[in-house]
Structure 1
Amino acid sequence: MKFFLIAVLVVALAIGSESASLVKKDAPAELEKIAKYFQDLVDNLKNVEGPELVNKANAYFEQTRAQFQPMVEKFHEQLKPISSNIEDHIKPLAASVQAQVAPLAGIVQTHVEDVLKFVADKSKAILPPL
């Protein structure tokens, strides 16, 4: 039962951290992707027609960026409460799991040290004296 609870908590932590990272990374990444597309378009158009077409493309690029920027910021602001809410729920769960796992980690460490001491003692008994 404890392992099931720990597994559920690990899954919840993974989902929470992934959603928080999506909130923080996806919106600016999409904006940068769109900006790169239009910048590439401008660079390609520079070679085709001349300064007038470049100016039109730059104006179009800036206009499009101005249209997308508020949408991205609005999207980011709408997702902030969700990510902070998830973090608020996950932090107490993580602290609880850590408090429960800490004594177990001490017990495991003691057992590992005992096994290593046993192996070292048996190895000394098997090896011939120098």
Structure 2
Amino acid sequence: MKFSLIAALVVVLAIDSQAASLVKRETQALPAEVEKIASFFQDLIQNLKALESPELADKAKAYMEESRAKLQPVVEKLQEQLKPLSSNIEEKMEPLAASIRAQINPYTELMQSQFDDMFKFVVDQTKAILPPQ
């Protein structure tokens, strides 16, 4: 919301600076429509400048609190409805996870023993290279 207000203000300021330069050039040569557009944007800029930002922040905060108050019961109801579903999924996934662990366990043990053998080999080779102390 703040971003859109800032973006609108930047666009209006850019248009206003162009309109002001047009007004400064020759006011008699400008058509009535351009003068109306320039005055509209000048009025819009004055209105945006008059808008107090603390007031806008208070309105935004009140809106957020009101929205949170409205959504809180819906969120709580949804959480209660999802609890049985999550426990059901957990019950169904536990046997599958146990099966996967049982299948992977021999491979992890094999890798662990190979790493241990490799580490022992590196240590033995390092001891053989180092001079005796």
Both proteins in one fold, TM over 0.5: no
**Larger CA Rg, structure 1 vs 2:** 2
Q: Which has the higher helix share?
A: 1
Q: Which has the higher contact order (CA 8 A, sep 6+)?
A: 1
